């Protein structure tokens, strides 16, 4: 890598402690004739992530209905209806706050 051994040790320690910077990784990759690829990988399938986010938004909206004397069953049905309604909207709205 054309750097002092102490720099390599520091890079390895930073990696072990989780404090490595993207800049350091990019420099190491270039020195090794590699390309750094940085990615976020979803834990669950995209459709599950979208449904969960839509349901969370529906629950937030459902909270506004609490004062309307709905039964638990009716509230759950309304949350499901709102979830489905949210899912047909443009997806960019899923991550907007209220």
pLDDT tens digits, one per residue of 54-85 = 999 998 877 776 667 778 888 899 899 999 99
Helix and strand numbers (H, E) in the chain are 4, 0
Q: How far is CA 62 from CA 4, 43, 45, 65, 71, in A?
A: 60, 27, 25, 5, 12
Provide the residue range defining the domain that includes 7: 1-39
High-pLDDT (> 90) share of the chain, %: 46
Residues 83 and 58 in one domain: yes
50 and 90 share one domain: yes
Same domain membership, residue 26 and residue 7: yes
**Whether residue 16 sits in one domain with residue 51:** no
pTM, 2 dp: 0.58
Phi, psi (5° rounding) for residue 39?
Answer: -140, 150
Same domain, yes or no: 21 and 53 = no
59 plus 23 within the same structural domain: no
Q: What SS3 class is residue 77?
A: helix
Q: How many separate domains does the chain show?
A: 2
Closest by CA to 2, choosing from 27, 37, 34, 35, is 27
Indicate whether 57 and 30 sit together in one domain. no
């Amino acid at each position: 890598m054309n750097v002092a051994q102490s720099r390599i040790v520091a890079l390895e320690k930073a990696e072990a402690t989780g404090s490595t910077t993207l800049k350091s990784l990019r420099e190491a990759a270039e020195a090794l004739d590699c390309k750094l690829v940085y990615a976020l990988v979803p834990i669950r399938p995209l459709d599950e992530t979208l449904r969960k986010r839509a349901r969370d938004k529906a629950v937030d909206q459902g909270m506004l209905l609490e004062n309307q004397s709905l039964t638990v069953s009716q509230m759950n049905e309304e949350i499901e209806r709102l979830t489905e309604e949210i899912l047909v909207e443009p997806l960019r709205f899923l991550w907007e706050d209220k």
